[in-house]
Structure 1
Amino acid sequence: MNILAILNSQGINFPSSDSTKEKDSKIQQLEESNRIKDEQLRLKDEQLRLKDEELKHERDEKEKEKTEKIRKEKEINTLKTENEKLKEQIEKMKPKLSLDAPISIINQDPSDIKLIGMDGLKKKIIKKQNKWNTISLSQVLEDGIWEMESEFTNDNHAAIGIVRDSHNLISGVAANESPNNQHTAILFNQSWNRGQVLCKGKEISGNTGFKGKQKVKQQFDSGTGTLIFFIDGILQLIYITGIQEKVRFIV
């Protein structure tokens, strides 16, 4: 009995081997296409995951930066507040510059020394004779910072400085001569001792010294006991500190 013939007569056919191979090939192609799409989807998911992690990291970093910025701003504000308080404390403790002090002198030799009032606080001292004399202001330098600015008309022997309030300058004796030199601290001009500083008889080099027509200023801080010098606004290298006595300015 021919079974295939009977099945064929009943309309039942079996695919040929070629048709089966073709279908298998299509199935393989579809499966490969699906595999590729699955891989592409997996890669996209991985990319999205990495992007999410990157964005999260950026958000975390921005949050850290924001937090750090806020912390630094608070720290800066705290430091500013502390700094302002320190400035206020320093300002309260700082000796005040004494202003508008009347100018008068202790004139041991009226025959040689004459004081003339000019404009405002300015005074002019006229020396009439060719002899040594040191002139002291009468103001005692205490409770603050004191300044005196001088200008000499020529380059003759000139000096500025301080003298002990307890010492009366000897008339006819220079500031660098005994006994005056044991009670004074002075800055010479250039033509007299080459601009040296003399303190209680000891000479110290290092300052430039001043000339006629230059503005020479001395500043005494009674709080620290320090005497410094300026020539035409330039601070001089050599200064004197540790002054504990009451003093007066001299020229």
Structure 2
Amino acid sequence: MSLDLQAAASKRMRRGIITLAAIAAVLAVIVVLLLVFGGGKKDTAKNPDTGAGKPAPAVTETPSDAYTAPQKWVKLPEGTGKSNGLPIKFPKTDEGAAAMMESVIRTSWSIDPADIEKAVSAYSAPQDTDALRAAIPQAVAGNRQTAGMPTDGPVPHGASFIAIPIAVQWTHQDDTHVRVSVDTRVVTNAGNGSENKTQLVSMAGMAVWNGDDWKNTSLPPGKQPEPFDIGSDGFNSAGWKAIQEGDRK
């Protein structure tokens, strides 16, 4: 009888561990999309409104004599395919993994659920897809809150939420796993005549080679490189490689 009770208790414990792991995975996904997953965040200068609901070029204003040029630049490769209009099929290199993660940020950090859905379909690891799709409403609400707008209802006139990756760094784990950190400038406008606001955010994800392309999977919260804008003190010492835009879209 005691053996039966012990076996039942062990079974319940294993089931509980699995359930907690699943909950943790979903929470991690939500936190990623809410822009606070495992990363640093800092406010920078406000940017003037262009009058069209679009942010002006989001460059933190610093005196010219305080500008420190990036020591490292990287030209991220293009994807050779498309999925829902988004680039996919990045090369099996560290730079290819970073390019995929940069595309994740550009497309999934949004207040438009359709944009996030496209990004989830294009870039998520298969085991994360269902949890990510379920988290889209919370992600939209969180991003709207970050921008200072109501979390539901019509988007205010002139409101916007734009993520602009400006730098990356990575750690090669093995041939199929690359940990990628992205330094992102997030420009938001609450609408109705509000001023644009800029935040710098640092996040990391794991790029996993899945058959013929890189896919993104979340990492547990942990220490991230501090976010710095290009030209600011600390950008180079934090290990960032500035993204050379060129003709990338």
Larger RCO, structures 1/2 (Cα 8 Å, 6+ apart): 2
Fold shared by both chains (TM-score > 0.5): no
Q: Larger Cα Rg: Structure 1 or Structure 2?
A: 1
TM-score normalised by the shorter chain: which range applies? under 0.3
